[in-house]
Amino acid sequence: MIQNAATWVCDGTFKSAPSGFSQVFIIHFSYHQEFMLLLYVLLPGKSLSDYNRMICEVKSLLLNQFKIKNLICDFEISIRLAFKNNFPGINISHCLFHFGQILWRNLAKNHL
């Protein structure tokens, strides 16, 4: 299944990270127009090096047997850079949910 999954979706959550970790990072992949869980990763932080190391480990675990072409993620710059560094030519789209959150926060911040 994963070998033909061209689209991945990822997001991190900080609230449910266990002690000793900064976040739980979750990756799903598209399979026959449905999204399936690929893995959960416990990360120590949210730096570019944290995401680069995670991607290298995922590539190693999956023996580089996947063809990721598209990524849907939030607006975290480090995530986008890490995927671009490790998958040249990848198309990165942003999650509409996170876009709505940004708009709402800015509206509230500016009292609009």
Read off the DSSP letter of residue 63: T
Q: Residue-wise pLDDT tens for the chain (112 aa)?
A: 677 788 898 999 999 999 999 999 999 998 888 889 999 999 999 999 999 999 999 999 887 778 889 999 988 899 999 999 999 999 999 876 655 666 667 777 887 7
Is-contact 27 55, C-beta < 8 A?
no
Which positions ≥6 away from 96 have C-beta within 8 Å? none
Question: Domains of the chain (ranges plus CATH)?
Answer: 2-109 (3.30.420.10)
pLDDT score, position 112: 72
Token pair of 55 as six digits: 């991607």
pLDDT score, position 103: 66
Integer Cα distance of 61 and 42 in angstroms: 15
